[in-house]
Amino acid sequence: MHTAVVGAGPTGLYTAIALARRGHEVTVIDRDPGPDQNGSWKRRGVMQFHHPHAFRQQVGEALLAEMPEVWDGLITAGAELATVPDQPGQPERVIGLRCRRLIFERVLRSAAEAQPGVTLRTGHVDDVRTEQGRGVGIRVSGHQVDADLVIDASGRAGKATQAFRGPLEGGDCGIAYVSRQYQLLPGAEHGPMNVPFGIVTSYPGYQAVVFIHDNRIVSILIARANTDRQMAALRSQDVFEAAIGAIPSLAAWSAPDRSQPITPVLPGGRLHNTYQGQRNAAGQIALDGLIFVGDAVCTTNPVAGRGVTTSLMQTQRLVQLIDDHRRDFTSCSLEFDHWCETNIKPWFSDHVYWDAELIRRWSGHDIDLTRPLPSDLIMAATAVDPEMLNVVGPYLAMLALPASLAAVEPRAREIYASGWRPPVPDGPTRDELAELVTSVSARNGGFR
Ligand SMILES: Cc1cc2nc3c(=O)[nH]c(=O)nc-3n(C[C@H](O)[C@H](O)[C@H](O)COP(=O)(O)OP(=O)(O)OC[C@H]3O[C@@H](n4cnc5c(N)ncnc54)[C@H](O)[C@@H]3O)c2cc1C
């Protein structure tokens, strides 16, 4: 069977390798020609490529299950294991990989290039070709590519197959990012950490995060409401540096005796929570022989680092279903759609509610106890009652669906009803940070 995969991101590459190992001939088409010979990679059209990524252990497990050499390649390339203490006397438990997306994709792409049965082609997929109501291939930069099955792994920005699909649920998550990468200096120790991937500090109005990657490279990030126009000037280098210098958890990492910047400041807008299944506007399978997977199905606010996990969870399931259903692609799409509705969509819904409530609180409102508590507040309440971690822990690790939190929601509600609120770390309030942003920006001639 010949399968055409649209998109050579994590989803497309993983799908191609896994299918080729099951006997498919796979052609993967991406408009991006791949990394330069010196290993650098601009990756136009994938805005998030140089923004921080944390890879959860589900990603590691997906690699170990199908392509262990990719896992080994990542470790050889400098990726570090993120671990947490387990039972006393037991070794630490691995919960993910600390690695730049650049390294992750470069290693995965090399494996796809080396995989017999996979052909990587550079080109723009214009649309899907149909005959008698079924997909028979794609058009790539004006040329025809025949295929028995077309898999759309074109990510959140893919447009080639939109005409077949029903409406997209969700949209902008309301949050914007600014980040920059730094290299730790020889001999410099790590800065403060409160999670295995680095440090997360949350203030009413913004969030400050450090992600540890491979090879002693870290990303420093500030997230804000995208309606907070005053903070938009954070994308200017001097403003960003002044702002991170004022936030203790970030300043400790960016101090000149600890690290130096290695990239420009990277703005990251248009962060989405979206879901779009396998059906058309009439509720039927969009097209026999065309299946959507990865970010083309679901995107979530990256703050919880779930995107590559939900993408590879889908891919693993899809590859099994393609095996089971053989050439009955409509049955395969139906079963995959049902599986995604049950196992992937709840992560989308979780973020939609979490983000809307967070933005509401960032605009000055208190926690609303007349409504269901969002997941971030249920997680925060474990600081008061660590027993709740029995339920919250599996959710946090994405081993239990968001609905599992219902078991501890009443206890969290009790905690907030008593007047407790998550403690705010040392550092500027949103207004103080915005004032700093405005004054540095004005000193530099303003921000447009
Ligand atoms: C700012 C940000 C930070 C993130 N951080 C994390 C994180 O920490 N952890 C995590 O797990 N996830 C994170 N994510 C999510 C993660 O980046 C996505 O889940 C992941 O990129 C999905 O992979 P994909 O292969 O489905 O799509 P993509 O990576 O978008 O790849 C799609 C590919 O399709 C190609 N393409 C599209 N249209 C066409 C066409 N017509 N013709 C040819 N090629 C085409 C594109 O060039 C691209 O290569 C983050 C997302 C953002 C926005």
- Report the alpha-carbon distance of residue 111 to residue 17 in Å, rounded: 8
Q: Decide which of 220, 253, 268 is a domain's last residue.
A: 268
The answer to whether residue 182 sits within a structural domain is: yes
- Same domain for 117 and 14: yes
Beta-carbon contacts of residue 360 (< 8 Å; ≥ 6 apart): 368
The answer to whether residue 278 sits within a structural domain is: yes
- Same domain for 53 and 202: no
User: Ligand 1 mean position to 9 CA, how many Å?
Assistant: 6
Instruction: Read off the pLDDT band of 269 (50, 70, 90).
Output: confident
- Same domain for 212 and 259: yes
The answer to whether residue 433 sits within a structural domain is: no
User: Ligand 1 mean position to 294 CA, how many Å?
Assistant: 8
- Same domain for 83 and 151: yes
The answer to whether residue 187 sits within a structural domain is: yes
Apex 175 CA angle, 171 and 180, nearest 5: 125
Going by C-alpha positions, the residue among 325, 199, 319, 291 that lies closest to residue 253 is: 199
Q: What is the mean pLDDT of residues 409-420?
A: 98
CATH code of the domain containing 92: 3.50.50.60
- Same domain for 151 and 133: yes
pLDDT of residue 189: 95
pLDDT of residue 157: 83
The answer to whether residue 359 sits within a structural domain is: no
Residue 245 DSSP SS3: helix
pLDDT of residue 291: 98
- Same domain for 162 and 32: yes
pLDDT of residue 185: 98
Instruction: Read off the pLDDT band of 160 (50, 70, 90).
Output: very high
User: Ligand 1 mean position to 172 CA, how many Å?
Assistant: 16
pLDDT of residue 251: 98
Instruction: Read off the pLDDT band of 85 (50, 70, 90).
Output: confident
Q: Decide which of 268, 299, 323 is a domain's last residue.
A: 268
- Same domain for 155 and 244: no
- Report the alpha-carbon distance of residue 174 to residue 269 in Å, rounded: 9
- Same domain for 154 and 296: yes
pLDDT of residue 88: 73
Amino acid, single-letter form, for residue 216: R
- For residues 191 and 258, the answer to whether their CB atoms sit within 8 Å is yes
- Report the alpha-carbon distance of residue 196 to residue 200 in Å, rounded: 10
- Same domain for 129 and 218: no
Residue 78 backbone phi and psi in degrees, to 5 = 110, 0
Q: What is the mean pLDDT of residues 328-334?
A: 97
User: Ligand 1 mean position to 77 CA, how many Å?
Assistant: 21
Q: Which ligand 1 atom sits closest to the C-alpha of 53?
A: 8
Q: Which ligand 1 atom sits closest to the C-alpha of 46?
A: 30
pLDDT of residue 373: 98
Q: Decide which of 268, 287, 308 is a domain's last residue.
A: 268
Query: In testing the pocket of ligand 1, which one of 308, 316, 348 has its CB within 8 Å of the most ligand atoms?
Result: 308
Q: Which ligand 1 atom sits closest to the C-alpha of 11?
A: 25
- Same domain for 276 and 259: no
The answer to whether residue 447 sits within a structural domain is: no
pLDDT of residue 447: 59
Q: Which helix (H) or strand (E) holds 198?
A: strand 198-203
pLDDT of residue 448: 52
Give me the residue label for tokens 């959507």: 292
Q: Which ligand 1 atom sits closest to the C-alpha of 12?
A: 25
How many structural domains are present in the chain? Answer: 3
- For residues 82 and 75, the answer to whether their CB atoms sit within 8 Å is no
What are the pLDDT digits (tens) for 341-369? Answer: 999 999 999 999 999 999 999 999 999 99
The residue range of the domain holding 330 is 2-170+272-347
| Burial of 163: CB neighbours in 10 Å, binned 0-12, 13-18, 19+ | exposed
What are the pLDDT digits (tens) for 279-315? Answer: 999 999 999 999 999 999 999 999 899 999 999 999 9
Q: Is the pLDDT of residue 89 over 80?
A: no
| Percent above pLDDT 70 for the chain | 99
- Same domain for 42 and 117: yes
Q: Is the pLDDT of residue 3 over 90?
A: yes
CATH code of the domain containing 220: 3.30.9.100
The answer to whether residue 434 sits within a structural domain is: no
User: Ligand 1 mean position to 155 CA, how many Å?
Assistant: 5
Could you tell me how far CA 368 lies from the centroid of its own chain? 28
Specify the residue with its C-alpha closest to ligand 1, atom 2.
48
Q: What value does the mean pLDDT of the chain take?
A: 96
Q: Which ligand 1 atom sits closest to the C-alpha of 270?
A: 53
Q: What is the mean pLDDT of residues 158-176?
A: 93
Confidence (pTM): 0.96
The answer to whether residue 361 sits within a structural domain is: no
Ligand 1 pocket, residues with Cβ under 6 angstroms: 6-12, 29-32, 45-46, 48, 51-54, 124-125, 153-158, 160, 177, 268, 271, 294-295, 302, 305-309, 311
DSSP code for 263: S
pLDDT of residue 359: 95
Residue 2 DSSP SS3: strand
- Same domain for 53 and 161: yes
Strand partners, 125: 140
What are the pLDDT digits (tens) for 45-59? Answer: 898 999 999 999 999
pLDDT of residue 281: 96
Specify the residue with its C-alpha closest to ligand 1, atom 35.
7
Neighbours of 172 (CB within 10 A): 15
User: Ligand 1 mean position to 298 CA, how many Å?
Assistant: 11
In order of 46, 98, 178, the CA distances from 102 in angstroms are: 11, 12, 18
